[in-house]
Amino acid sequence: MTYYSMVLLLFLIALLPQGVVYGYHHKGRFKDNLHKIYKIPESKGESAMDYNVGLADPPTFTTEGKTLKIITGDTVVLPCDVVNPSGYLLAWKRGIAILSAGNVKVTPDERFRLVDGYNLEIRDVQTQDAGDYVCQIATLNPLEITHTLEILVPPRIHSVTSGGNVEVKKGLTVTLECRASGNPVPVISWTRKNNLLPSGEKSVEGYSIIIEQATRHHAGVYLCTASNSVGEPVTAQISLHVLYPPEIEVERGWVHSGEGYEAQLVCIVHAEPQAEVLWYRDTLRLDTTERRIMEVRGSRHTLIIRKVQSSDFGNYSCVADNSMGKAREYLELSGKPNPAIFRSHPMGRFKDSYNLTWSVNSYTPIEEFRLYFRRLPPPPVPGQLTQPQYHHNKRPTRRENETWGGGGGSGVRLRDEWNDVILPAAPSEQFTQQMSYMIRGLEPALHYEARVQAKNRFGWNDISDTFLFTTRGVDPEMRDMGVTAQSVSSTCKSASNILFVSFVMAVCLS
């Protein structure tokens, strides 16, 4: 019997009158499986005879229809438990398609089978399996229950902008998109690898993000993650490349070194596409030699000069060039001392003098220092014009042995004008050289400022930052102690007078 013949036969069986259990004829009697005997009228001319026609108890379902949510790839069992099923045909249907009839599986799909009676099992569930499944009992008025199968689909990302590799020119706007599917509809969230999003947030939701006026700081790897609580979230990445001309940052614009030592000039170059970097001494392009090495580590470009000679001191520049543009930054290699750093405490210990201490780093020995100091001018009165007071050359420079105060210090003659003094440095081969100087003739409880320069055989260095210090004023605690002592003394005198009067009165009364 062919497959289609079997389907037709089962369909015809389903069309037979329902509600009667058909038995069999045996020796003039019709007997069913319930063994109930009934008379069957004989044909004309014959006597009546018994027949067996049994009416069984009606079948009922012990399970109810339900909605089942299944993840794709899993196995599901649709229950169909029936009481008194004997003699009745049970069938599984999906729409107009018959999946099984009785114990026979009709559908050719090998993923379907009957288990534990009439329960329908579906293996490796797919999205096309979603829908209503009906378990039907072929009674006169067919009984049936319906199971609804909802297929839960884990998230899947279908596409991202430009296949995950996006380029945009500096200053333009770019949109990054991420398309995903799943059941339920997945939520898409955006993050940035090892960084915050351009908005400053750690993550945002939505199928796209917009970056306006793109800069090199917006470049990087952006991650879109789709999740719907079914299975594991999935992530795709988009690499954003911002095209821009070179941008150069100089690590130190002024580099100190000494003869026989090593010097490193560093330019940090950012560019997209990657830039070619060249080094120059004034207008002369430099090449690699035994003493001169050009090193590149990521965006860090270093010109290394070994065993520095005096002829190496001077002006250098790094030039970066790519298809988007060109940039240049300048550096100076110098043998002059580093700027001085003050070591003194801002609050002085004395009312009329202050001990100023500073240090200077220099590979070449320092020959002398120049100290500038003055009383800090009072703040200008609003609406009043003032003349600048910073004139180093207004007064002749004094040397330490010409100081007003003597004893290794100097006095201040002009209150708000700069005083300057040349101080010889003690011979030293140390890299860090320290100097102290006592300034005398100051006024109590006033603010002063000082600056220092240092000189070696390559010249004077840049003047230091301004250092502010204050002389000590009249100690208010001492004044309080004096008042307290006077009060105690007066109290004692008063007490003595009272005791004396009391003693005289006592003598007179006696």
Same structural domain for residues 76 and 133? yes
**In the listed set 123, 152, 181, which residue is the last one of a domain according to the structure?**
152
The per-residue pLDDT string of the chain (510 residues; one tens digit each, 9 = 90 and over) reads 454 455 445 544 544 444 333 333 334 433 333 334 434 444 454 444 444 444 557 888 988 999 999 999 999 999 999 988 877 889 999 999 999 998 899 999 999 999 998 999 999 999 999 999 999 998 888 899 999 999 999 999 999 999 999 999 999 999 999 999 999 999 999 999 999 999 999 999 999 999 999 999 999 999 999 999 998 999 999 999 999 999 999 999 999 999 999 999 999 999 999 999 999 999 999 999 999 999 999 999 999 999 999 999 999 999 999 999 999 999 999 999 999 999 999 999 999 999 999 999 999 999 999 999 999 987 766 665 554 444 444 445 555 544 333 334 545 445 678 999 999 999 898 999 999 999 999 999 999 999 999 999 999 999 999 999 999 987 655 444 343 333 333 333 433 443 333 333 333 333
pTM: 0.62
Q: Do the domain assignments include residue 399?
A: no
Q: At which of 95, 125, 152 does a domain end?
A: 152
Residue 363 shares a structural domain with residue 453: yes
350 and 455 inside one domain = yes
**424 vs 442: CA distance, rounded Å:** 23
**In this structure, is residue 279 part of a structural domain?**
yes
Per the domain annotation, does 510 fall within a domain? no
118, burial (CB in 10 Å: exposed 0-12, middle 13-18, buried 19+): buried
Please count the structural domains in the chain: 4
Q: Do 236 and 278 sit in the same domain of this protein?
A: no
301: in domain: yes
- Rounded CA separation 68/283 (Å): 80
Query: Do residue 341 and residue 306 come from a single domain?
Result: no
Domain that holds residue 196: 154-244
Residue 497 within a domain: no
Q: Which helix (H) or strand (E) holds 153?
A: strand 143-160
**Which of residues 227, 244, 261 is at a domain's end?**
244
3-class secondary structure, 497: helix
Whether residue 238 is found in the same domain as residue 189 = yes
3-state secondary structure 16-79: CCCCCECCEEECCEEECCCCCCEEECCCCCCCCEEECCECCCCCEECCCCCEEEEECCCCEEEC
- Residue 82 resides in a domain: yes
On whether both 165 and 282 belong to a single domain, the answer is no
User: Are residues 362 and 449 part of one domain?
Assistant: yes
Q: What is the CATH number of the domain that holds 162?
A: 2.60.40.10
Give yes or no: residues 138 and 260 share one domain.
no
